[in-house]
Amino acid sequence: MSSEEDERVSGTAGSPGEPVSAGGPPSTGEERPGAERPTGIASLPSSGAGDHPAPCFLRIIPLAALGYAYIGGVLLVFSLLVCRIASFIVRSPDPPAFLVLSSPLLLGALVVLYGTARAAWVRSPAPEGFEVTPGDSPLLFETLGLIRMELGGPKIHTVVITGEFSACLVRVPRLGIFGWHRNCLLVGLPLLQALSTGQMLAVLAREYGLLPGRGRRLRAGVCQARAAWMQLHRELEGRRGFGNFLLARFSLWYAPYFQSVSAPLARIHEFEADACAAAAAGKPQVATALVQAEMCERHLRENFWPLVSALRDTLPEPVTGLYRLMEEKLSEGPDAKQAQAWLEESLWKESGQGGTRPCLGERLRALAEPPQLPAPPVNSAARDYFPDLDGLKGTLDAAWRAGADTAWRERHERVRKAKARLSELTAKGQASPLGAGETLELADLTESLSGPGEALLFYQRILESMPRFVPALWAVGRIRLAQGDESGADCIEQAIALEPGRTIQGLEALYRFHMGRGDLEKTGEYYRRLSGQRESRQRARGEEKRQRVPARYMVPRKGPSVGGAPPPRAPRPEG
């Protein structure tokens, strides 16, 4: 239904393979503070599918129907109004005169009718990637057919291979918010390179389990309506007009409320998709696919993309053979100790408050499978699915190079200028002492080009002459914490005291540092401080938002004031 949501029913494991970015996407989970960290990877968070209360279907289903009924009602009422006015004009004794007299009403009804229909008819762009056919990958389409027979559900119309580390189903509506979807499966080549054929079967079955099918039509329909209304709400916020004002006012209340009420059901639907995958591929295969995808995504984000980003500093053009290099990196796999630490960290995360996407620990707990690091696949799903894998990698590589070319060249030029400026400042510093501003610039350039360890000395020099200089305090604290030096906490605390705007960011850094060291007492202390700061910021934002509401929307509350006495009336002017 949407361009961003596109009624995108899922995204497995995924992070987009940023062409020139070293990092992957932010994690959707939040670390659970204030509790003892698990001592081994066999420990799982206690949260699971039962954390949310069971949704009240008697409340959600009528609410979902209300949205469609409202749009249909507006279209019906104004269509009848237009027809009635036209009939009145035709049957009148003087049609031209009556047309002139009724033209304002007719024009207004037509504008509202057109605006509402156009707003509800949300179009979605075609998914980006390279469409494959059964001739390109017979085994992949045979697998999709078997999954459909096992789970029951609609047909997948197109399969598109992308360069992202993800798999998701995109439902593109033909009739706007009213549906009649085309189902498009997006599968990333990096994910195919990371998983075995059996693990990929579990991933594909999980994505298919989010579609309407046997025993899940109701929940899938509500989740589709949920995504559709939120996308429509975003569209209407950026496209206000007289014609769609009725739909915009209704969406302003309905879309956020419906999203909130249906969130528990959407969360249950995610767990049921995992159960569908278990029915098609088996619980152990689903569990290993979840862990393997999580570890490989982290491996690329921390051990592959930084290397690609570093090449921007030396190569004037994007690197060739990206997906060949990625396949080699995935076949190596992360270090066993590193992978175990990543797994423990992933298990010690939980879904954000109000989130509908379960985290890894919750999904494994729902499957009743222990968290284990799987053995690297002997042969990847990409090798099994695509006989002409080298041709596919070449096609995606050419597309990646074309998309990354501009940003890559700009970055290379910035680095070239930064190196020239660094050389200039270094030569100037050897001739005479630099001021605080130039020393800070020298430190920033050194950190960006040579790493934080080389820049630490320059930041410390600034503090020797200006001990209360916040940017230098912050940089020294940040670098020392990254090096495992607890003295960096004092610098962060000083920076927070001198510049309160850095409070939340500083407390988050200190919380992560002490949690990584296993210091539960300080972890709890910083968590409490961080929670208090976040609550204060939320209250301040709420108050600011309330003050920005126009006066005509501020409805005074009726009733007695404190103490039971009626509110005093304003005195009437005399005379």
Question: How many whole angstroms separate alpha carbon 13 and alpha carbon 297?
Answer: 7
Are residues 197 and 3 in contact, defined by beta-carbon separation less than 8 angstroms?
no
What is the structure's pLDDT at 492?
92
- Label the pairing between strands 349-351 and 29-31: antiparallel
What is the structure's pLDDT at 458?
87
How far are the Cα atoms of 97, 266, 314, 348, 478 from residue 342, in angstroms, in the given order? 78, 28, 31, 10, 22
| DSSP 8-state class, residue 386 | -
What is the structure's pLDDT at 326?
93
What is the structure's pLDDT at 56?
59
Per-residue pLDDT of the chain (575 residues; tens, 9 = 90+): 444 444 444 444 443 343 333 333 333 344 443 333 333 333 333 333 444 444 556 778 888 889 889 988 999 999 999 999 888 888 888 888 888 888 888 888 888 888 888 888 777 667 788 999 999 999 999 999 999 998 888 888 899 999 999 998 888 777 767 767 788 999 999 999 999 999 999 999 999 888 887 777 777 878 888 888 888 888 787 666 667 788 888 888 888 888 888 888 888 888 888 999 999 999 999 999 999 999 999 999 999 998 998 888 888 999 999 999 999 999 888 888 888 888 888 887 766 545 678 888 888 998 998 888 888 888 899 999 999 999 999 999 999 999 999 999 998 998 889 889 989 988 988 888 888 888 888 888 888 888 888 889 888 888 888 889 999 999 999 999 998 899 999 999 999 999 998 999 999 999 889 888 888 888 888 889 988 888 888 888 766 655 554 444 344 444 443 334 444 444 444 43
What is Dmax (Cα atoms) for the chain? 99
Residue with tokens 């090449």: 311
SS3 content of the chain, % helix, strand, coil (to 5): 65, 5, 30
Are residues 374 and 292 in contact, defined by beta-carbon separation less than 8 angstroms?
yes
What is the structure's pLDDT at 559?
42
Residue 351 phi, psi dihedral angles, 5° rounding: -60, 145
Strand segments (E) across 136-295: 158-162, 167-173, 181-188
Question: How many whole angstroms separate alpha carbon 517 and alpha carbon 521?
Answer: 11
Partner residues linked to 70 by β-bridges = none
What is the structure's pLDDT at 548?
52
Are residues 186 and 16 in contact, defined by beta-carbon separation less than 8 angstroms?
no
